[in-house]
């Protein structure tokens, strides 16, 4: 039994290794705020969303499969939440039950505990089966439809009836019917726990030899307990495997549903704040077209608890995007909004925009300016170059690198030349680059380049910032005097 809501052909592994630079991605794009809002203090949802975010997909088909399921979840949020709540409640009940696999627990107690857990699981399976009957009428996506069909097929009435019958028989703790045979040495061997047939048991009690352990005969009782343990050992082993199998299925299904619960939580929050949300369109890897409308920084909305300014773009056949303009004009915010959208889009998540179209990228890397760190063993430029070297080792055509004020820790001339050579080498080898920079010499070096798209933070004549990033050639000034006048005039 498989849920297959995240992938068609395999389970969703929340313990899979994260992509290179996941820590930098989280910090640079301020994803902790996004994950927290998706989780709503649910550890399962947080774990699933983190795992999805930091293992972005590179297959358009896999992304499309996940997006189709997401659309279905958005159409039927209550059904998804009910199914998830059933599994969470089961997990909570399981935690309160006995830990029957403990080596310190007697086998007879283990049998009762395993049967108890199986009873809990059977109730959940019955609930899921009933849910699937209704769910099959509302879900239409490939993933959710297949899950509903599987639950109805595998958990049919005959199967559930047989499970209940076995559990009813195991519930009787007063009487156990066991059998054995004589071994070569005359000792009993081959102990087996038997199903009880009332008439057969009565006949054996009347006609067969029997004995009763006298009260107070501790040795006799210990011998009987030992014989019973030998008889039920195989049953306990089988029950343990069954319980583990069902538990694994529930855990896997809960993890996969948790991802969609996180997406629902984020979608609901942004909608309540009046912020646009969309399911993005992903293009093949070899495309170099990008367009979006009202793209905004989700983390900024969460921190301000209000809607923020969005940006539009429509660019074709561009490989290098250079963003310049006034200080505190929204350049870094724009860069975060783009990075968040690209990463979330490749995880099958909704993004913060009215529309968002972008090509799939083989890898997403960020290289942001870092604050001074007293623990650094070398200068800031050395540290920046070391990070760039680590990224370069993992780049391949079709990757994406996002720079924010990189290589500005040295003078204008050296910083510009370093950044120019790196950007040129990347774009010539099929790597897409987005770069926010105050280095005018660097920006001007790409003037007239057909593969370069210049964007600029908008500034009105009076110095006011609109926090819009619009097409525009780089200027020699970042208008730092505007901030000076605002602070000291």
The Cα–Cα gap between 70 and 267 comes to 11
| Across 364-375, average pLDDT | 81
- Lowest mean pLDDT, pick from 65-79, 87-101, 245-259, 379-393: 87-101
Q: Enter the pTM of the model.
A: 0.87
Q: Which of 2-11, 198-207, 256-265, 320-329 has the highest mean pLDDT?
A: 256-265
Lowest mean pLDDT: which of 221-235, 258-272, 414-428?
A: 221-235
**Alpha-helix runs per DSSP H in 139-217:** 142-154, 157-171, 198-207
Q: What burial class does residue 282 get, using C-beta atoms within 10 Å of its C-beta: 0-12 exposed, 13-18 middle, 19+ buried?
A: buried
> Within 13 Å of residue 63, how many CA atoms lie on the same side as its CB?
27
Q: Confirm if 94 and 243 have CB atoms less than 8 A apart.
A: no
What pLDDT is stored for residue 100 in this prediction? 46
Q: pLDDT value at position 349?
A: 98
Q: What is the pLDDT of residue 481?
A: 64
Across the range 23-34, mean pLDDT stands at 97
Q: Tens digits of per-residue pLDDT, 223-260? A: 777 877 777 778 778 888 888 888 899 999 999 999 99
* Separation of alpha carbons 176 and 233, rounded Å: 13
Contact 326, 479 (CB under 8 A): yes
Give which of 463, 459, 462, 412 is closest to 437, Cα–Cα. Answer: 412
| Amino acid 486: pLDDT | 65
With pLDDT > 90 as the criterion, what percentage of the chain qualifies? 61
Average pLDDT over residues 311-318: 96
Average pLDDT over every residue of 86-100: 79
Mark 207-219 as b/e (b = at least 16 C-beta within 10 Å): eeeeeeeeeeeee
User: DSSP assignment, residue 18?
Assistant: P
Nearest to 342 by CA among 7, 73, 108, 29: 29
What pLDDT is stored for residue 38 in this prediction?
Answer: 98
CA atoms within 13 A on the CB side of 335: 31
Nearest residue to 109 (alpha-carbon basis) of 239, 251, 278, 13: 239
Going along the chain from its start, the domains and CATH numbers come out as 22-171+245-272 (no CATH), 281-488 (3.40.50.300)
Provide the pLDDT for residue 302.
Answer: 96
Band of pLDDT at residue 264, cut at 50, 70 and 90: very high
pLDDT of residue 186: 74
Judged against a pLDDT cut of 80, whether residue 263 lies above it is answered with: yes
User: For tokens 């999805």, what's the residue?
Assistant: 52
> Is the confidence at residue 104, as pLDDT, over 60?
no
Q: List the beta bridge partners of residue 457.
A: 325, 469
β-pairing verdict for 290-295 and 355-359: antiparallel
Phi/psi region, residue 422 (left: phi>0; alpha: psi -120 to 50; beta: rest), is alpha
Q: Which residue has the higher pLDDT, 291 or 200?
A: 291
Task: Give the per-residue pLDDT at 142.
Answer: 96
CB 97 within 8 A of CB 120: yes
């Amino acid at each position: 039994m498989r849920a297959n809501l995240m992938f068609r052909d395999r389970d969703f592994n929340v313990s899979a290794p994260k992509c290179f630079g996941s820590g930098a991605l989280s910090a640079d794009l301020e994803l902790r705020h996004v994950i927290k809002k998706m989780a709503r203090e649910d550890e399962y949802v947080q774990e699933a969303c983190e795992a999805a975010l930091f293992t972005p997909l590179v297959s358009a088909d896999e992304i499309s499969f996940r997006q189709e399921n997401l659309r279905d979840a958005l159409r039927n949020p209550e059904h998804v939440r009910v199914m998830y709540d059933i599994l969470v409640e089961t997990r909570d009940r399981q935690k309160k039950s006995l830990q029957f696999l403990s080596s310190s627990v007697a086998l007879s107690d283990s049998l009762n505990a395993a049967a108890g857990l199986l009873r809990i699981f059977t109730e959940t399976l019955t609930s899921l089966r009933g849910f699937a009957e209704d769910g099959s009428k509302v879900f239409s996506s490939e993933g959710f439809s297949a899950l509903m069909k599987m639950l109805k097929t595998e958990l049919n009435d005959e199967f559930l009836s047989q499970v209940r019958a076995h559990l009813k028989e195991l519930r009787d703790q007063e009487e156990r019917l066991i059998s054995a045979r004589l071994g070569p040495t005359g000792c009993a061997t081959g102990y087996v726990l038997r199903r009880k047939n009332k008439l057969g048991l009565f006949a054996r009690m009347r006609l067969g030899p029997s004995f009763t352990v006298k009260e107070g005969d501790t040795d006799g009782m210990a011998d009987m307990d030992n014989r019973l343990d030998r008889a039920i050992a195989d049953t306990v082993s089988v029950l343990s495997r069954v319980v583990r199998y069902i538990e694994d299925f529930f855990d896997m299904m809960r993890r996969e549903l948790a991802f969609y619960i996180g997406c629902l939580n984020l979608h609901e929050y942004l909608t309540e704040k009046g912020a646009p949300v969309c399911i993005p369109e992903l293009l093949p890897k070899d495309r170099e077209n990008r367009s979006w409308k009202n793209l905004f920084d989700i983390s900024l909305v969460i921190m301000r608890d209000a809607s923020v300014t969005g940006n539009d773009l429509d660019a074709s056949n561009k490989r290098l995007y250079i963003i310049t303009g006034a200080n505190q004009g929204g350049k870094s915010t724009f860069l975060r909004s783009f990075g968040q959208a690209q990463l979330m889009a490749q995880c099958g998540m909704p993004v913060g925009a009215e529309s968002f179209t972008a090509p799939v990228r083989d890898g997403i890397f960020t290289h942001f300016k870092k604050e001074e760190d007293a623990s650094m063993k070398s200068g800031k430029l050395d540290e920046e170059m070391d990070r760039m070297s680590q990224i370069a080792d993992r780049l391949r055509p079709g990757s994406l690198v996002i720079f924010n004020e990189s290589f500005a820790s040295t003078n204008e001339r050296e910083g510009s030349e370093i950044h120019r050579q790196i950007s040129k080498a990347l774009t010539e080898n099929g790597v897409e680059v987005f770069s926010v920079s105050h280095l005018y010499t660097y920006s001007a070096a790409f003037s007239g380049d057909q593969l370069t798209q210049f964007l600029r933070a908008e500034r009105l004549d009076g110095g006011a910032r609109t926090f819009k990033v619009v097409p525009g050639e780089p200027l020699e000034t970042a208008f730092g005097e505007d901030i000076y006048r605002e602070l000291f005039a």
